[in-house]
Amino acid sequence: MVGRTTAIFALGAIAALACGNTTTSEEAAAPPKAPAAAPVSVAFPPTAIPAGVEKTECVVVRLGNATPLHIGSIRNDLGDGSHHLIVYRTSDTVEKPTPFACDPFTDTLDPEKGSTLMVTQKKEDTLTLPPGVAFSIEANQMVRLEMHYINASASQKTITAKSTFIPISDDDFRDEAGFLFIGNPDIQLPPNTTTTLGPTFFQVPAELWGVKFFAMTGHQHKLGTNVQIAMTPNADDPGRMVYDVPDWSWSEPKTETFDPPFTVPNDGGFTFTCTWNNTTDRQVRFGESANAEMCFFWAYYYPNKGARVCFHTKRIGGQFGTDICCPGDGLCGLILSEGGR
C-alpha cells in the first residue's frame, strides 16, 4: 500500500511539473536580446562669425564608437546664426576638426565618399526612425557636419551645433534607411510680389519603386511661405496630400512622419508646390545663399537604395522639362555649380 501511494504521489508530481512548465524548447534556447549601446555625439565647434558674414563650412570628426552601431534616432541642436546643418556618414580617414570652407552636398554626390543621414533647419530637431529601421555605421565612424550659417546682425555671433546618435539593439535591426532630396531650381521672384512655383511633378526613379517613405520636411529660405507635397500615381493626377503644414514656417519647418509609411506607385512620384512673398526691391532666384531661394523637400525611406539629390527643371528638356538625379547624371554639376542660372 505504501509503495502504491508513493507511486501515485510521484506520478502527480511529474504531472504538475509537466503542466507548470510551458516554456518551449525554442524559448529556452533563445539568447537574451543584446542591449542598445549608449548614445554618441559630435559637435561643430563654437565659431565666432563677424556681422554680415555668410558661409558654408564643414568639420570631419570621428564619432568615437568602438563597435559598429545601428542608429535608430538622431538629434541635432543648432545655435544662433545656423541656417541649416547636414550630417553625413563619410569614408574620410583623417579628421578635420577645424571648420573649413566646403561645397554643399559634396558627399551626397559621390557615394564612395559617404551619404547623407539627416538635414536640420530647426534649432532642435530629432529624427526617430521606425522600429527596426536604422542607419548603419562602422566602428570609429567618421562624420562630416556641414554648417550653413549667416550672421545678419550688426554684431559678432558665435555659432555651434551638436549631433547625437542614438543606437538601437543589433537584435532589433531589420532595414537600412535611405535619404532623398527633391526640388525645382526654376525660381524667379519679381520684387514686391507673391509667386507660386508648381505644381511640379517629379517621377520617383525606378530603383526607388516599392520603398517605404516614413518622414518628410519642406525647405525654403526667408521669403518662403509654404511647401505642399502630394504623392501621386502620375503627372495628371492631383494625388494625395502628404505634406501640408498649417502655418508653415521656413525657419522651423515641420518634419511630418508617416505611420504607417507609404509607398509611391510604380511610375508615380511627388507633385510639389512652393510659394513666396518677395518683400525686397530686387529679383530673387535659386541659390544656396540665404538671400537666394529654394524649393526643396527631403524624405527618409527604407530599405536604402542610395542617397539622391534630384531636380525637376524646365530649363532643360523643353515644355515638359526633365528630371535630374545626382549622383549619376551628367547635368548634376551644371545645376549645382551654377545655381540653376
SS3 2: helix
pLDDT at 301: 97
Quote the CA–CA distance of 205 and 155 in Å, as a whole number: 46
Cell readout for 124 is 532642435
Give the Cα separation of 58 and 46 in Å (integer).
13
Could you tell me if 321 and 187 lie in one domain? yes
Residues 170 and 184 in one domain: no
- pLDDT (tens place) for every residue of the chain, 341 residues total: 444 444 433 334 333 333 444 555 554 566 777 788 899 999 999 999 898 888 899 999 999 999 999 999 999 998 776 778 999 999 999 999 999 998 876 655 667 778 899 999 888 999 999 999 999 999 999 999 999 888 888 888 888 999 999 999 999 999 999 999 999 999 999 999 999 999 999 999 999 999 999 999 999 999 999 999 999 999 999 999 999 999 999 988 999 999 999 999 999 999 999 999 999 999 999 988 888 999 999 999 999 998 888 989 988 777 788 898 887 776 676 655 544 33
For residues 183 and 331, membership in a common domain is answered with: yes
Of 116, 149, 176, the residue that ends a domain is 176
The answer as to whether 12 is a domain residue is no
DSSP state of 254: -
Q: Is residue 20 part of a domain?
A: no
User: 32 in a domain, yes or no?
Assistant: no
Residue from 145, 159, 147 nearest 51 by CA: 159
Determine phi and psi for 149, rounding to 5 degrees. -130, 155
Q: What is the pLDDT of residue 8?
A: 37
Q: How far apart are CA 130 and CA 214, in angstroms?
A: 7
Other CB atoms within a 10 A radius of the CB of residue 56 amount to: 20
- Lookup: cell for 282: 530686387
- Grid coordinates representing 68 are 559598429
- CA dist 59 and 146 (Å) reads 7
- Here the cell at position 55 is 558661409
Residue pair 203/322 in contact (Cβ under 8 Å)? The answer is no
| Contact predicate 306/225, CB 8 Å | no
Number of domains in the chain: 2
DSSP assignment of 58-105 equals EEEEE---SS-EEEEEEEEEE-TTEEEEEEEEE---S-EEEEEE--TT
Domain enclosing residue 245, as ranges: 178-337
Considering Cα of 277, then 281, then 283, then 287, what sign does the dihedral take?
A: negative
Give Rg (Cα) of the chain: 26
Q: Are residues 74 and 223 in the same domain?
A: no
Report the DSSP beta bridge partners of residue 75: 126, 164
* 26 domain residue, yes or no: no
Same domain, 54 and 170: yes
* Pairing of the two strands 69-78 and 157-168: antiparallel
Residue 5 Cα to chain centre, angstroms = 72
Which pLDDT score is estimated for 333? Answer: 63
Is 25 a domain residue? no
* CATH code, domain with 94: 2.60.120.310
CB 128 within 8 A of CB 73: yes
Q: Are residues 312 and 194 in the same domain?
A: yes
The pTM (predicted TM-score) of the whole model is: 0.85
Do 218 and 304 have their domain in common? yes
User: Is 248 inside any structural domain?
Assistant: yes
Integer angstrom CA distances of residue 328 from 86, 240, 312, 333: 21, 30, 15, 10
pLDDT score for 324:
87
> Does residue 120 sit in the same domain as residue 216?
no
User: Grid coordinates in use for 30?
Assistant: 533563445
- Residue 337 has a pLDDT of 53
Tell which of 134, 161, 176 closes a domain.
176
In a domain, 15, yes or no: no
d(CA 219, CA 276): 12
Give the pLDDT of residue 77. Answer: 93
Are 135 and 118 a contacting pair, CB within 8 Å? no
**Residue 34 belongs to some domain of the structure:** no
Residue carrying C-alpha cell 564619432:
63
Are 278 and 193 in contact, with CB atoms under 8 Å apart? yes
Domain boundary among 138, 158, 176: 176
Q: What is the Cα–Cα distance from 94 to 144, expressed in whole angstroms?
A: 11
Bridge partners of residue 200, in order along the sequence: 272
- Cell triple for 184: 525645382
